[in-house]
Chains A and B, each alone.
Chain A
Amino acid sequence: DAMVIQNPRYQVTQFGKPVTLSCSQTLNHNVMYWYQQKSSQAPKLLFHYYDKDFNNEADTPDNFQSRRPNTSFCFLDIRSPGLGDAAMYLCATSRDPLAANEQFFGPGTRLTVL
C-alpha cells in the first residue's frame, strides 16, 4: 500500500546531541511537510518542500533544518536538541499545493530529549 513512513517511531537523544528523523513516501507526492506537535497541542508546521523548493515558516528556529535528496525522502535535522524540542514530529505529503488535497500523514516520531 502507498504510504508515508517515518523512522524511527521513537527516538531518544541527549541534550545538544544532533539527531535526524526520517520520512519516506511511496505516494509520489510533490509536497512534503514537517510538523512539530507538543503534548496536548495542535501540530505546528515547521517547513515544507514543494519539489526541491524549501519553504521555512517564519517562526521555525534555526536549530531545525531539513533535507530532501529526492522525491521519496525527506529528513528533519535538529542540530542541538533542547529539552523544549521533545515532541511528536509528524511528516505529511500532498500531491500538489493548488488542489484541494488532503495531507497524508505518517505515524510520527516521538522524540525524547534527556
Chain B
Amino acid sequence: AQKITQTQPGMFVQEKEAVTLDCTYDTSDPSYGLFWYKQPSSGEMIFLIYQGSYDQQNATEGRYSLNFQKARKSANLVISASQLGDSAMYFCAMREGVTGGGNKLTFGTGTQLKVEL
C-alpha cells in the first residue's frame, strides 16, 4: 500500500487565487511528521512546511498552510495568493517515528502545479 498518496498529477490555478494540493498518508506509527517540498524545473527540493503528528494547530509559513486532518489521515497544502513563481512540482512526504538512525522520508508521486495569468 502507498504510504503517501497524491491524487492530483497536475493542477492549474489563476494568479492570486488560492489552491489546495491533496495528500493522504498511511501509517500505524503514532509519531510521525509530514512535510511539503517544492521542486522547480531546476531540480532542487525546497522545504516549505512541516506538521508533526502531535501538533495541535495547523502549520503555517507565510502563504503556505497545511490543513491537517489527523482522523482522515490527510495533510493538504494550501497556497494562498498564487504567484507565477509557484509553478513547480510539489511533493508531500512523511517521516515515521522519532527514533532510529535517520530521518527517513517517504515521498508521494507529486503534483505539478501551473500558475496562469
Contacts and interface: CB of A to CB of B under 8 A. Distances in A.
A binds B: yes
Given A55-B101, A88-B43, A42 B33 contact: no
A110 B44 CA distance: 11
Contacts of A50: 101-102
Contacts of B104: 45, 48
Interface residues of B, number: 26
Contacts, number: 65
B50 to A, nearest CB: 6
Nearest to B4: A42
A42 B110 contact: yes
Contacts of B91: 42-43
Interface of B: 4, 33, 35, 37, 42-47, 50, 52, 91, 98-110
24 contacts: A31-B103, A33-B102, A42-B110, A45-B106, A53-B101, A55-B102, A90-B43, A97-B99, A97-B101, A97-B102, A97-B103, A100-B52, A101-B103, A102-B35, A103-B35, A103-B45, A103-B47, A103-B103, A105-B45, A105-B46, A107-B42, A107-B43, A107-B44, A108-B44
